[in-house]
Structure 1
Amino acid sequence: MEIEIKFNETFEAPMGSPRPRFSTKGRYAHTYMPTKYTEHKKYLQNQMPKLNLENALKIELEFYFSRRL
């Protein structure tokens, strides 16, 4: 099976996973991921087919980046 991920104007290229962010409210700490990253992750997840796998899955990824001059 071959799956091709499509990008658009909003999500132009693959994005690395940033570190979690922290905030405090009173005495409590709150951990969250940046909104731009979570939206990018949801966009990619929506393109993936729903597979009911019973065995291990091997994935090979190839990324092609255009060089801006």
Structure 2
Amino acid sequence: MEIEIKFNETFEAPMGSPRPRFRNTGRFVQTYMPTAYTNHKAYIQGQMPKLNLERALKIELDFYFPLLKS
């Protein structure tokens, strides 16, 4: 099976996972991920088919990035 993930003008390329962020709320600390990352992750997840797997899955990823201009 081959799956191609399509990007658009909002999500132009794969995004690395940023570090989690922390904020104080009273006596507690909340951990959260940046909104841009969670939106990107939801966009990718929405393109993936729902698979009912009974065995291990091997995944090979190829990323192609354009060359930088400078």
Q: TM-score range by the shorter chain?
A: over 0.9
The answer for unaligned runs of 5 or more in structure 2 is none
Matched ranges for 1:13-28 at <5 A: 13-28=13-28
Deviation at 1:10, TM superposition (A): 0.4
Q: Which runs of 4+ in 1 moved over 2 A?
A: none
Rounded to whole Å, the distance in 2 between the matches of 1:64 and 1:39 is: 21
Give the aligned length: 69
Rounded to whole Å, the distance in 2 between the matches of 1:50 and 1:25 is: 37
The answer for unaligned runs of 5 or more in structure 1 is none
Deviation at 1:68, TM superposition (A): 2.8
Tell me the TM-score normalized by structure 2: 0.96
Partner of 1:43: 43
